[in-house]
Amino acid sequence: MPAKKVTTEKVEEQEVKTPAKKTTTAKKATTAAKKPAAKKPAETKAVEKKAPAKVEKQEKPTATSAVAISKGISVTPRKARLVVDLVRGKSVEEAYNILNNLNKAASTSVYKTIKSAASNAVHNYHMNQALLYVDTIYANDGPRLKRYLPRAKGSASGLVKRWCSITVIVKEREVK
C-alpha cells in the first residue's frame, strides 16, 4: 500500500505516514514565497562585465630527476638491499652491466626498475641517456603473506613471505 502525501501550497512541513505507522517530517518549499524574483532585461544590460586580467604563462621548471617504483616484488627486502647497494651512485650503463652479471634473485627486478626510470627520464623529461646515473635507490618492505607451516604432532608454526618495493631516482650528470 503506497504512502499518501498531503499537499498544500502554504504548508512548510507535512507529515507522511508509512505502513509501519512511523511518522516522518519532510520540508516542502512553498511555490509563491521562496521563488527568486525574475530580473528585468533592462537591469542586466546596464551592468558591464569587466574583461579578465591577462595572466602571463609561467614556464615550468625543467625536471632534474625521473622516478620509477616497482611494487609487489616477491623478493625479501634484505636480499634486494644487497643488490641495490651495488648500483647506487653508478651510471645507468654501468648498473646494467653489474646487474646482468649478478647471480641474485632481485637483480632482474632492480634491472627492470632502473631501465624504467631511465626511459622515463629520456622520453618524458628529454634527458641525455649517456649522462644518466642512479642517484637514489632503495628497497622498502611491501606486503607480507602469512602462511602456516605444518610441524610435528599436529602443530603449526607461522611462515611470513616478505615482499618488497624498489624505488629508483635517476638524475643527469652535469657536464664540466
Dihedral angle over CA of 109, 113, 114, 117, nearest 10 = 170
Instruction: Give the pLDDT confidence of 63-96 residue by residue, as tens digits.
Output: 789 999 999 999 999 999 999 999 999 999 999 9
Alpha carbon distance 6, 26 (integer Å): 11
The domain in which residue 130 lies consists of: 65-172
Alpha carbon distance 83, 98 (integer Å): 9
Domain membership of residue 56 (yes or no) is no
Percent of the chain clearing pLDDT 70 (strictly above): 66
Q: Taking 70 as the threshold, does the pLDDT of residue 9 lie above it?
A: no
Alpha carbon distance 133, 117 (integer Å): 10
Q: What pLDDT is recorded for position 56?
A: 72
Alpha carbon distance 99, 49 (integer Å): 65
Q: Which of 167, 175, 60, 70 is nearest to 124 (CA)?
A: 60
Q: Specify which residues 134 forms β-bridges with.
A: 170
Alpha carbon distance 92, 137 (integer Å): 12
Domain membership of residue 20 (yes or no) is no
Domain membership of residue 44 (yes or no) is no
Q: For residue 162, what is the domain's CATH number?
A: 3.90.470.10
CB 99 within 8 A of CB 158: no
Q: Taking 50 as the threshold, does the pLDDT of residue 110 lie above it?
A: yes
Per-residue CA distances from 132 to 96, 101, 118 (Å):
12, 20, 7
Domain membership of residue 77 (yes or no) is yes
Count up the domains in the chain and report the number. Answer: 1
Q: What pLDDT is recorded for position 12?
A: 47
Domain membership of residue 7 (yes or no) is no
Q: Does the pTM of the predicted model rise above 0.75?
A: no
Domain membership of residue 141 (yes or no) is yes
Instruction: Give the pLDDT confidence of 128-152 residue by residue, as tens digits.
Output: 999 999 999 999 999 999 999 999 9
- Stated as kind and residue range, the H or E segment containing 120 is helix 107-125
Domain membership of residue 46 (yes or no) is no
Grid cell 505507522 is found at 21
Domain membership of residue 112 (yes or no) is yes
